[in-house]
Amino acid sequence: MSSEAHLGPVAATDGHDHEHDDDDADPETALVEGLGGQELRAIASLWQRTGREVLARFGGSSMEPTIPPGAEVLLRCGGAPCRGDVIAFVRDDRVILHRVVGLSAREDWVLTRGDAHALPDVPLRNPEDFVGRVSAVRKGGELLPVPPPPRSPARWLALCCSLPLLRVAPRLAAFEIRALLAFRRWLIYVPRHLFQRTFGRRS
């Protein structure tokens, strides 16, 4: 199961009361469910042009403890991302929710990271991948401002290794980050698989 905070299959509403609508399906729910990356980018572009605000729920644990899995967030579409923003963006066939930890002055790349992770994501290079930023998180029945990111030496060190190279050689930095992410997956999944195979046979 992926830990990335991604948009669930029944996730978005437009924030209005549809209690008396003839159609039971919320407009955005009908649009985002089961769509691929190209269709999601087209919807994101439309929402940005209209400055859409949506209430959405995201699964996955990569934004913990800032945004627990399934928590409702207010997503404001349009504008440009800033460092520290929690943004939604399209990657492959999913909408991902992560925090901006770096970006270029020319806006030709944006570096994101889940608050639960030390390593950043592969940089965003396509402006069409950007959907919007999270302006509030629902906690205890209220929509509250997004908390600041957690801090740790590992998070600081990961950015110190990534950002300088990204500023001078974005392609090389992206390759480095992909290699580190692959190595992290190997460290997590290979020992777990070996453990399950070894002790699963004994049980």
Listed by start position, the domains of the chain span 6-149
Q: Which of 148, 153, 94 is nearest to 121 (CA)?
A: 94
Pairing mode of beta strands 53-59, 72-77: antiparallel
- In sequence order, what E strands does 60-186 have? 72-77, 86-91, 94-103, 110-113, 130-139, 142-144
Hey, what CATH class is 6-149 in?
Answer: mainly beta
Coil/strand/helix, residue 98? strand
Give the pLDDT of residue 34: 52
Q: What is the pLDDT of residue 16?
A: 41
Please give the pLDDT value at position 27. Answer: 30
pLDDT at residue 28, as a whole number: 39
- What's the confidence (pLDDT) of residue 44? 75
Helices 153-168, 170-202: inter-axial angle, 10-degree rounding: 140
pTM: 0.74
Report d(CA 116, CA 98) in Å as an integer: 10
Place of tokens 């959907």: 131
Write down the pLDDT at residue 193.
64
Tokens of 142: 């209220």
The one-character DSSP state at 129 is G
Tokens 């948009």 sit on residue: 7
The pLDDT of residue 87:
93
Q: Are 83 and 100 in contact (CB under 8 A)?
A: yes
What per-residue confidence (pLDDT) applies to 100? 96
Whole-angstrom distance, CA of residue 91 vs CA of residue 97: 10
* Distance (Å, whole) CA 166 – CA 186: 24
CA–CA gap between residue 89 and residue 153 (Å, rounded): 27
Structure tokens at 82: 């800033």
C-alpha–C-alpha distance, residues 80 and 90, integer Å: 15
Amino acid 102: pLDDT:
93
Measured in whole angstroms, the distance separating CA 130 from the mean position of its chain's CA atoms is 10
Q: Give the whole-angstrom CA distance, residue 34 versus residue 64.
A: 25
CB atoms within 10 A of CB 138: 15
Query: For each of the chain's 203 residues, which pLDDT tens digit applies?
Result: 445 655 553 344 444 443 434 333 333 333 444 556 677 777 777 777 777 888 888 888 899 999 998 888 988 888 888 999 999 888 887 888 999 999 987 768 999 999 999 999 999 988 888 888 999 999 888 999 999 999 999 999 999 988 998 888 888 888 988 888 888 778 766 666 666 777 765 55
C-alpha of 24 from chain center: 28
Model pLDDT, residue 5: 56
